[in-house]
Structure 1
Amino acid sequence: MPIFQFLADTLISNWEIITLFFIIAVLYSSVGFGGGSSYIAVLALTSLAFTQIRTIALLCNIVVVSGSTFIFAKNKLFDWKKIIPLAITSLPLAFLGGYLKITQTFFFILLGLTLMTAATLMWTSGYIQQRSKETNLKKSIIKDTSYGGIIGFISGMVGIGGGIFLAPLLHLTNWDTPKKIAATSSFFILINSIGGLFGQYLNPNFYIEPTITIILMFTVLIGGQIGTRISIKLIAPIKLKKATAILIAIVSIRILWKYLF
């Protein structure tokens, strides 16, 4: 009985976070993303240690995008010859970013800047996708490995998968069709999250509170499975992205104000 009482108390005291994680998982998984940036934005407003925030976000990312990646693979949307250059640098550098020992102040400043960048990219993503049809930049292995490495390293430190950065870049460079870009971003998020999580696990400061973590993972598992099977028709995707961008930007400003001023 004490175990069930403890579980019930945890659910009741964290119902707002659990609800937000469920909504985020449904919405993000419907377009092939994991929702890491939004999970972190929510957790950054709690009293959790920043080391736990990163770990929980990555675990939830893995749970959500695993389903999306499986569906994309089943529909044969992966072009491995183009994906490998992105992955070959992102995975080891995501591991390195997760392994690095950083201070709480540095983490939150980097997080604030990352969230602001993510919000900007989400706000302008519709414009970028429209422009990409008219843009024909030369693709190269060097460019893709650079994208993968830089995004992977930052993602590992912050605790996200990096799809929020990769997808707009791929659209901007007319990398491939929108469906294949979504598939590639999903796989990219998965391997970066695994690499970053493994790096954090080997970090001496690694710690995680199992109860809330398992509850949130189970929550996003359900939300992610729902999201991968439906399309959001009640809200236009561009409006949804802009609304999310505003919320992430507000959290970013709040974090930066606290740790810079």
Structure 2
Amino acid sequence: MLALGFFVTALLYASVGFGGGSTYSALLALVGFDYRLLPIVALCCNIVVVSGSTVRFARSGLVPWRGALTLALVAAPLAFLGGLTPIKEATFLLLLGLSLILAGLALLLPRSPESEGQPAPAARWMGFAAAPLGYLAGLVGIGGGIFLAPLLHLTRWNRARQIAATASLFILINSIAGLVGQLTKNGPERFAEALGGALPLLVAVIAGGQLGSLMAQRLLPEKVIRWLTAALTIWAGSQLLLR
């Protein structure tokens, strides 16, 4: 059932350009997985899902490299620091639950039409928003793109497909930086311990991520997929907070 949950999460998130790390973390927490190892598994799943998306965006020429790398490289050192930061279990679960609910609500924000014109003045300050998202990414095992993308849409930072490509690259780089921080904090031997029982989950997200990125948008409108993803995310966050 956990592998099925990971498969569905990867399918939904990949179809809208995200990795799903926040929901992977929640599902693991709900089944009692060791919270110290939990971000390692979630970040590895994130990397698996968004690597394929990033390659496809790059091959299609959709990645605005200068802007995307600027945002990612501002956030990555803070993602590493987030991974290094010691945190108590209750604080970790509280932050994760709140992050999930906010992420779900962010998915429900309206997307600006392509024709709305020039970027808003706030678009040039998105680097300042990227920094705390990087720290949160490393701390609780998420990529941060699910928060970044709505801000980029609201400020008309770029066109929709370029924003999706930017979010994918942002998640990939921050997940790698956060994972390095987590392994530095807990010791490299924790990597094998965390993934020892998680291989079925990695297989599930590989399959779900590929199917989501290739097929889901052809089967359902993107708005419906975002609503489903938001519902799953808010439900998982609510369950954590209730516990």
TM (norm. structure 1) is 0.84
Mean Cα deviation higher: 78-87 or 226-235 = 226-235
Structure 1 residue 158 and structure 2 residue 133: aligned?
A: no
8 Å contact kept, 2:16–2:226? no
RMSD: 2.1
User: Are 2:109 and 1:117 equivalent residues in the alignment?
Assistant: no
Q: For the residues of structure 2 that align with 1:253 and 1:170, how far apart are their CA atoms?
A: 26
Residue 81 of structure 1 pairs with residue 66 of structure 2: yes
**Cα displacement (A) at 1:246:** 2.5
Q: Which has the larger radius of gyration?
A: 1
More displaced, 23-32 or 127-136?
A: 127-136
Q: CA 1:234–1:84 in 2, change beyond 3 Å: closer, same or farther?
A: closer
The answer to whether the 8 A contact 2:133-2:148 is kept is: yes
| In structure 1, distance between residues paired with 2:65 and 2:79 | 20
- Residues 1:138 and 2:135 are matched in the alignment: no
Structure 2 unmatched runs, 5+:
none
Q: Per the alignment, do residues 23 and 88 of structure 1 end up closer, same or farther by CA in structure 2, a change over 3 Å counting?
A: same
Q: Within 1, Cα distance between the matches of 2:206 and 2:136?
A: 25
Residues 183-194 of structure 1 aligned to structure 2 (within 5 Å)? 183-194=165-176
Deviation (angstroms), 1:136: 4.2
Q: Which residue matches 1:101?
A: 86
Query: Could you tell me how far apart the structure 2 residues matched to 1:82 and 1:248 are?
Result: 28
Contact 1:132 1:171 in 2 (8 A): no
Instruction: Write the distance in 2 (CA, Å) between the matches of 1:217 and 1:77.
Output: 27
- Specify the alignment match of 2:9 in structure 1: 24
Matched, 1:129 2:112: yes
Q: Deviations over 1:143-173 (max 9, x none)?
A: 1321221110111111000111011000000
Does the residue aligned with 2:98 lie in a helix, a strand or coil?
helix
**Percent identical:** 41
1:46 to 2:20 alignment? no
Deviation at 1:224, TM superposition (A): 1.7
The 1:251–1:228 alpha-carbon spacing in structure 2 relative to 1, beyond 3 Å, is closer
Aligned counterparts of 1:225 and 1:246: Cα–Cα separation in 2: 21
Q: 1:153 to 1:235 in 2, by over 3 A?
A: same
Deviates more, 1:92-101 or 1:229-238: 229-238
Q: Deviation at 1:57?
A: 0.8
Structure 1 window deviating more from structure 2 (30-39 vs 182-191): it is 30-39
Work out the number of aligned pairs and report it.
240
- Is the contact between residue 123 and residue 152 of structure 2 (CA under 8 Å) also seen in structure 1? no
CA gap 1:83/1:71 in 2 versus in 1, 3 angstroms: same
TM-superposed deviation, 1:130 = 4.6
Structure 2: how far apart are the matches of 1:45 and 1:85? 35
> 1:70 aligned to 48, 55, 63, which one?
55
Change (3 A) 1:165 1:111: same
Q: Does the CA contact (< 8 Å) of 1:122 and 1:241 recur in 2? A: yes
Secondary structure at the aligned position of 1:149 is classed as: helix
Q: How many Å apart are 1:113 and its aligned residue?
A: 1.1
Residue 19 of structure 2 corresponds to 34
Q: Structure 1 residue 204 and structure 2 residue 189: aligned?
A: no
5+ residue gaps, structure 1, are 1-15
Does the Cα contact within 8 Å between 2:17 and 2:50 map onto a contact in 1?
yes
Q: Which residue number corresponds to residue 241 of structure 1?
A: 226
Moved more, 210-219 or 168-177: 210-219
AA of the residue aligned to 1:116? I
